[in-house]
Amino acid sequence: MRQRTLVLIKPDAVVNYHIGNIIDRYEREKFDIVAMRMLEMDDCIASKHYAEHVGKPYYQRLVDFMATDRIVALVVEGENVIERVREIHGKTDPKKAAPGTIRADFALSKTVNSVHASDSPESAEREVHVFFSETEIYQPNHDIDFSVFDGD
Ligand code: CDP
Ligand code: MG
Protein backbone atom coordinates (compact mmCIF):
# COMPACT_ATOMS: atom_id res chain seq x y z
CA MET A 1 0.00 0.00 0.00
CA ARG A 2 1.38 3.42 -1.00
CA GLN A 3 1.51 5.75 2.01
CA ARG A 4 2.96 9.09 3.13
CA THR A 5 4.81 9.72 6.37
CA LEU A 6 6.12 12.83 8.12
CA VAL A 7 9.85 12.82 8.86
CA LEU A 8 11.73 15.41 10.91
CA ILE A 9 15.51 15.60 10.85
CA LYS A 10 16.17 16.91 14.36
CA PRO A 11 18.66 19.66 15.35
CA ASP A 12 21.46 17.27 16.39
CA ALA A 13 21.46 15.57 12.97
CA VAL A 14 21.34 18.92 11.14
CA VAL A 15 24.17 20.44 13.20
CA ASN A 16 26.31 17.29 12.84
CA TYR A 17 26.03 17.30 8.99
CA HIS A 18 23.85 14.19 8.65
CA ILE A 19 21.03 15.65 6.50
CA GLY A 20 22.35 14.16 3.26
CA ASN A 21 23.14 10.77 4.78
CA ILE A 22 19.65 10.52 6.30
CA ILE A 23 17.81 11.48 3.10
CA ASP A 24 20.02 9.05 1.14
CA ARG A 25 18.66 6.17 3.24
CA TYR A 26 15.09 6.91 2.10
CA GLU A 27 16.11 7.37 -1.53
CA ARG A 28 18.07 4.10 -1.54
CA GLU A 29 14.74 2.40 -0.72
CA LYS A 30 13.16 4.23 -3.70
CA PHE A 31 10.96 6.26 -1.40
CA ASP A 32 9.90 9.59 -2.92
CA ILE A 33 10.55 12.92 -1.17
CA VAL A 34 7.32 14.75 -2.04
CA ALA A 35 7.70 17.80 0.27
CA MET A 36 10.63 19.32 2.14
CA ARG A 37 11.32 22.44 4.22
CA MET A 38 13.85 23.77 6.76
CA LEU A 39 12.38 25.55 9.78
CA GLU A 40 12.73 26.28 13.50
CA MET A 41 10.30 24.44 15.76
CA ASP A 42 8.74 27.02 18.10
CA ASP A 43 6.51 26.19 21.09
CA CYS A 44 3.37 26.52 18.98
CA ILE A 45 4.46 24.02 16.32
CA ALA A 46 5.87 21.73 19.04
CA SER A 47 2.59 21.60 20.94
CA LYS A 48 0.72 20.72 17.74
CA HIS A 49 3.21 18.17 16.46
CA TYR A 50 3.87 16.56 19.87
CA ALA A 51 0.25 16.90 21.09
CA GLU A 52 0.13 13.39 22.58
CA HIS A 53 3.29 14.08 24.61
CA VAL A 54 2.08 17.32 26.29
CA GLY A 55 2.30 16.81 30.07
CA LYS A 56 4.81 13.91 29.89
CA PRO A 57 7.86 14.30 32.20
CA TYR A 58 10.19 14.62 29.19
CA TYR A 59 7.98 17.08 27.25
CA GLN A 60 9.73 20.36 28.16
CA ARG A 61 13.17 18.81 27.59
CA LEU A 62 12.02 17.56 24.20
CA VAL A 63 10.57 20.93 23.16
CA ASP A 64 13.67 22.82 24.36
CA PHE A 65 15.92 20.42 22.43
CA MET A 66 13.81 20.68 19.27
CA ALA A 67 14.17 24.50 19.37
CA THR A 68 17.98 24.53 19.70
CA ASP A 69 18.53 24.88 15.94
CA ARG A 70 16.81 24.35 12.62
CA ILE A 71 15.13 21.12 11.60
CA VAL A 72 14.20 19.64 8.23
CA ALA A 73 10.60 18.48 7.68
CA LEU A 74 9.93 16.00 4.87
CA VAL A 75 6.98 14.11 3.50
CA VAL A 76 8.20 10.71 2.31
CA GLU A 77 6.03 8.52 0.10
CA GLY A 78 6.20 4.85 -0.83
CA GLU A 79 5.05 1.30 -0.24
CA ASN A 80 4.57 0.61 3.46
CA VAL A 81 6.64 3.74 4.15
CA ILE A 82 5.28 4.39 7.66
CA GLU A 83 6.56 1.10 9.08
CA ARG A 84 9.70 0.98 6.89
CA VAL A 85 10.91 4.45 7.86
CA ARG A 86 10.49 3.62 11.54
CA GLU A 87 12.59 0.48 10.96
CA ILE A 88 15.25 2.57 9.17
CA HIS A 89 15.24 5.00 12.14
CA GLY A 90 15.53 2.35 14.87
CA LYS A 91 14.21 2.40 18.43
CA THR A 92 13.71 5.69 20.30
CA ASP A 93 16.64 4.98 22.64
CA PRO A 94 19.84 4.71 20.56
CA LYS A 95 21.22 2.17 23.04
CA LYS A 96 18.35 -0.15 21.98
CA ALA A 97 18.37 0.73 18.26
CA ALA A 98 19.51 -2.02 15.89
CA PRO A 99 22.96 -1.63 14.30
CA GLY A 100 22.87 0.25 11.00
CA THR A 101 19.77 2.27 11.87
CA ILE A 102 19.93 6.07 11.85
CA ARG A 103 19.54 6.30 15.61
CA ALA A 104 22.22 3.65 16.27
CA ASP A 105 24.57 5.53 13.92
CA PHE A 106 23.89 9.15 14.92
CA ALA A 107 21.62 9.64 17.95
CA LEU A 108 23.18 10.94 21.17
CA SER A 109 20.49 10.03 23.73
CA LYS A 110 16.83 9.06 24.09
CA THR A 111 15.85 12.73 23.72
CA VAL A 112 18.55 13.81 21.27
CA ASN A 113 17.76 11.07 18.77
CA SER A 114 18.24 12.60 15.28
CA VAL A 115 14.90 11.82 13.60
CA HIS A 116 11.13 11.65 13.97
CA ALA A 117 8.68 9.57 11.93
CA SER A 118 4.92 9.13 12.13
CA ASP A 119 3.83 5.88 13.79
CA SER A 120 0.45 5.18 12.08
CA PRO A 121 -1.62 6.29 9.07
CA GLU A 122 -3.71 8.48 11.41
CA SER A 123 -0.71 10.24 12.96
CA ALA A 124 0.93 10.59 9.52
CA GLU A 125 -2.16 12.34 8.14
CA ARG A 126 -2.26 14.69 11.15
CA GLU A 127 1.50 15.38 11.37
CA VAL A 128 1.98 15.96 7.61
CA HIS A 129 -0.52 18.80 7.84
CA VAL A 130 1.17 20.40 10.86
CA PHE A 131 4.04 21.22 8.48
CA PHE A 132 2.60 21.24 4.95
CA SER A 133 -0.58 22.25 3.17
CA GLU A 134 -1.83 19.80 0.56
CA THR A 135 -0.73 22.19 -2.24
CA GLU A 136 2.90 21.96 -1.01
CA ILE A 137 2.96 18.16 -1.40
CA TYR A 138 3.88 16.88 -4.86
CA GLN A 139 2.83 13.84 -6.90
CA PRO A 140 5.89 11.86 -7.99
CA ASN A 141 5.98 11.09 -11.73
CA HIS A 142 8.02 8.00 -12.61
CA ASP A 143 6.99 7.95 -16.29
CA ILE A 144 8.97 10.94 -17.60
CA ASP A 145 11.13 10.23 -20.68
CA PHE A 146 14.05 12.57 -20.01
CA SER A 147 15.70 11.56 -23.33
CA VAL A 148 13.28 13.85 -25.22
CA PHE A 149 15.40 16.73 -23.81
CA ASP A 150 18.66 15.33 -25.25
CA GLY A 151 20.54 18.06 -27.09
CA ASP A 152 23.99 18.83 -28.46
O1 CDP B 1 10.16 9.27 18.31
P2 CDP B 1 9.50 7.99 18.76
O3 CDP B 1 8.15 7.74 18.11
O4 CDP B 1 10.44 6.82 18.63
O5 CDP B 1 9.26 8.12 20.34
P6 CDP B 1 8.03 8.71 21.19
O7 CDP B 1 7.80 7.79 22.33
O8 CDP B 1 6.85 9.02 20.31
O9 CDP B 1 8.60 10.07 21.79
C10 CDP B 1 8.76 11.23 20.99
C11 CDP B 1 10.11 11.83 21.28
O12 CDP B 1 10.13 12.26 22.63
C13 CDP B 1 11.29 10.87 21.17
O14 CDP B 1 11.75 10.69 19.84
C15 CDP B 1 12.32 11.52 22.06
O16 CDP B 1 13.00 12.59 21.38
C17 CDP B 1 11.45 12.11 23.17
N18 CDP B 1 11.36 11.25 24.37
C19 CDP B 1 12.19 11.53 25.45
O20 CDP B 1 12.95 12.50 25.39
N21 CDP B 1 12.13 10.76 26.58
C22 CDP B 1 11.28 9.71 26.64
N23 CDP B 1 11.25 8.97 27.76
C24 CDP B 1 10.45 9.40 25.56
C25 CDP B 1 10.51 10.19 24.43
MG1 MG C 1 6.39 8.88 18.28
What single string gives the DSSP state of each residue in 91-139?
-SSTTTSPTTSHHHHH--SSSS-SEEE--SHHHHHHHHHHH--GGGSPP
113 in contact with ligand 1, CB cutoff 6 A: yes
> Hey, what amino acid is at 112?
V
Domain 2-138 has CATH 3.30.70.141: yes
Q: Please state, in angstroms and rounded to a whole number, the distance separating the CA atoms of residues 42 and 39.
A: 9
| Amino acid 152: pLDDT | 83
Question: What are the mean pLDDT values of the chain's consecutive 10-residue runs (152 residues total)?
Answer: 98 99 98 98 97 97 98 98 98 98 98 98 98 98 97 88
Residue identifier of the C-alpha nearest atom 4 of ligand 1:
92
Residues forming a β-bridge with 115: 9
Q: Whose CA is nearest to atom 15 of ligand 1?
A: 111
Q: Assess contact for 127 and 74: CB atoms under 8 A.
A: no
Residues in the chain: 152
103 appears as a binding residue in the annotation: yes
Rounded (10°) angle between helices 19-28 and 81-89: 140
